[in-house]
Each structure stands twice: as structure tokens, then as C-alpha cells.
Structure 1
Amino acid sequence: MNKQLLEIQPKELKFIFVLKKQSSCSVRLTNNTHNYVAFKVKTTSPKKYCVRPNVGIVMPKSACDFTVTMQAQGVAPPDMVCKDKFLIQSTVVPVGTTDEDITASMFARDDGRYIQENKLKVTLISPPNSPVLSPINGSLKQGPAYEASILEDPVSRVQILTPSDMVRKTLFSQECWIC
């Protein structure tokens, strides 16, 4: 079996990068099959990102979203190039399976089960109308403070959070982890 279980949009995670501010991006999973499909999200940098929810069930002929939040970073990577990646695994599960029923063994290939895997790259983008980050004494400093309320780009659904938004999100994401 080699069919597409979930359609994933976007194919690349784009984060607006602002020093010392977290940034979020939404991903939509669409199940065009007549099966219940379980998904699991993994990353190469689990301490840098929070994924909510990181596992779930997508009902037949429906869609669900998950949000990836890049934690606030003190320095920008060289040339704003990010090598982080995400892996979305999905597999058909029995009718009636719930999010609470999902286990790591569901994504093991040992019993001949079909596991669809999709990789997403991460791209960092400079905020609109903001000075470009420039190196000063080996570390990157940002120009005039970029203060923003929550901004949402209708294409990539990227958000920039103010400090008060970050405190609120931090309080609700204390148990954030990625398997």
C-alpha cells in the first residue's frame, strides 16, 4: 500500500524570526480517505519547539490543525538559515480510535503496517518593515524594537507574540513536549 493518507499544508514551516520572541505556525492535516488516520509529529530539535497537539486522530473526510511554536531565541542562526526539520507520521487505525488510544507502537513498521512519513523544513523570515539583523561583535543585534500585537499572515498563518502573549502561552504550555 502506497497511498497518501494525509494531505499536509503548508509543506514548509515559516517562522517570522524576532530575537527573544516566540513565533508560531499552523499546519493543516486533511484526511481524504474513508479511514481513521492517526498522526504523530517529531522534530530534530525538541527543546526548541512546542507542538500542540503532537499526536491525534483525523476523522475520515475531515481535517485538523496543529500548531508549532518556536521558543524565543537569544541569537539568530548564521545567515538566518535553519536546519531544523519536522517529521509527520501517519497510519490507518481502527474506527473509533481516540487521541488517548494513540501509542508509539502504532507507528512501528514491525508488523508490516503502512506508515506515511512527510518531512517539513523550517524557514526563518525577517519580520515585515523591520531592519535586517546584522552581526555586532559576533552576536546578532536587532535594530529598533519590533513591537507587535498578534500579527497573522493569511498565507502562512505565522504569529508574532508580544511579551504578554508569551507569558499567557507559557503558562498554558508548561507540559509541552514532543515524542
Structure 2
Amino acid sequence: MSSGDLLSIHPTELKFPFELKKQSSCSLQLTNKTDQHIAFKVKTTNPKKYCVRPNTGVVLPGATCDVTVTMQAQKDAPPDLQCKDKFLLQSVAASDAVTVKDITPEMFNKEDGKVVEEFKLRVVYIPANPPSPVPEESEEGSSPRASLLDNGNPNASLSDAASRSSGEHKENPEAFSMISKLTEEKTNAIQRNQKLQQELELLRKEASKSQGGSSFMFVVLIGLLGILVGYFIKM
């Protein structure tokens, strides 16, 4: 942070994320250190390249003013992203009644007994998309590529859980085998139950259409199926 008798300025460099064919912006904060109204003006060595809002203004006593500097989209990048552009911020004490409309270039002329503070700000370009650093090996025997795959896998936690579960199964294979067998038997029983219920429903429909001895046989079959269904339900 630069600090004079009138204004403190932050930051002291204008840092623009640089990307071809895209605008880029950065901000300045001007803080009035006095109990007077301070008028300011921002100049640049390349006015066609930058837009400053506001480029002139008045900062009230103890107040802060934000200045936004926008760099127009560039077609070419300078060698090594080095920029020679500079900005000049001028500030001067003004009357309490001064407004932005009252600011004139003559206010910043250096005259006898008149204090005009000036700060030079240089421009710095920074890559908009810096390359990602290659991660170091976190564990002996593990490669950076493996680490990247683990970090970028949204199902990594699920894979880890599955691995832990597999390890537990290896430690107690008999319990795992028993659980698998019971699960399979339960699934088969549910499937048989559903099939029997479907057949029972068909038999009921047939029984309602039949008469005489055939009806009696259907009634017997329905009873037997009912017993089987109850048995499988209890399993």
C-alpha cells in the first residue's frame, strides 16, 4: 500500500489476468487520510487500451473510493507478458463544496504553495489460467497420475468403501458366505411367492368359470397353493 499525506492507495500495482481476446479488470482503493475533500485524477500512458471508471472524483474525509480499470481485449500477447504501460494518480485538497463536475485539469497544476501528490502505478499481467503443478508422491510407490485419478474421481469414496468391505470379507469368509447364501435364498423365495400368487389368481378365475367335478378339483388345488404360499411367506 502506498501512502501520502492525502490518499493511501491499494494496491500499488495494477494486476490484470491476461487472456487473448478477453477484457480484464482490476480495482484500486483510494482512502482519504485527511479531514478535507480530496480531488483526484487518473492518467495513463495508453488511454486507448484502458478504461478508468471513475477517472476523476472527490473522496470525502475518512472515506474510501473504488476505481475500476478495465483493459480492452488484446489480439496479441507481449513477450513474457511484460507490459510497459503506466498510470499516474494525482490528488489535491479541494474545498468542501467541490463536486466531480467542478474538477478541471488546472486543479492539478503545480503552483507555489500548492500540494499535488502524484503516484505512479505500473501494470502487471498475470496468466489467466496458470498451469496446475504436478503433485508429489504422497506415499511410497504411488505415482502422481494415480493421485490425480483418485482426486478427480467423484466415486472415490464409494470405491474406498468397497475396498474396505472386500477386505473384511477376506478376513471372515465364512460369515460372508453365509450372508450371501441367505440373501440368495430370500430372493428366490420372494420370486417363487410372486409366481405362486400369479398362478393362484389364474386358478381363482378358472374356478369361477368351471362347474361340477372340475370345480371341486380347482378348489382343492387352490387350497394346496394357499398352503405353499403361506409357507414361503414365513421363510
TM-score scaled to structure 2, two decimals?
0.53
Higher fraction of strand: 1
- Write the distance in 1 (CA, Å) between the matches of 2:113 and 2:72: 37
2:106 matches 1:105: yes
SS across alignment from 2:101: helix
Name the structure 1 match of 2:28: 27
- Write the distance in 1 (CA, Å) between the matches of 2:131 and 2:92: 42
Name the structure 2 match of 1:71: 72
Which deviates the most, 110-119 or 83-92?
Answer: 110-119
2:28 maps to a residue whose letter is V
- Write the distance in 2 (CA, Å) between the matches of 1:73 and 1:118: 26
Name the structure 2 match of 1:90: 91
Name the structure 2 match of 1:116: 117
Tell me the CA shift for residue 130 of structure 1: 5.4
Name the structure 1 match of 2:7: 6
SS across alignment from 2:80: helix
Identical counterparts, % of pairs:
57
Tell me the CA shift for residue 116 of structure 1: 0.2
Tell me the CA shift for residue 12 of structure 1: 0.2
Tell me the CA shift for residue 128 of structure 1: 3.1
SS across alignment from 1:79: helix
- Write the distance in 2 (CA, Å) between the matches of 1:124 and 1:7: 23
Higher relative contact order at CA 8 Å, sep ≥6: structure 1 or structure 2?
Answer: 1
Higher fraction of helix: 2
Name the structure 2 match of 1:51: 52
Please say which structure displays the higher CA radius of gyration. Answer: 2
Structure 1 residue runs of 4 or more that deviate by more than 2 Å after TM superposition: 128-131
- Write the distance in 2 (CA, Å) between the matches of 1:18 and 1:5: 35
CA RMSD of aligned residues (A): 1.4
| Unaligned 5+ runs, structure 2 | 133-235
TM-score scaled to structure 1, two decimals?
0.69
Tell me the CA shift for residue 112 of structure 1: 3.4
- Write the distance in 2 (CA, Å) between the matches of 1:110 and 1:88: 18
How many residue pairs get aligned? The number is: 129
In the TM superposition, what whole-angstrom CA distance separates every residue of 1:109-135 from its partner, at most 9, and x where no partner exists? 13531100001110000013459xxxx
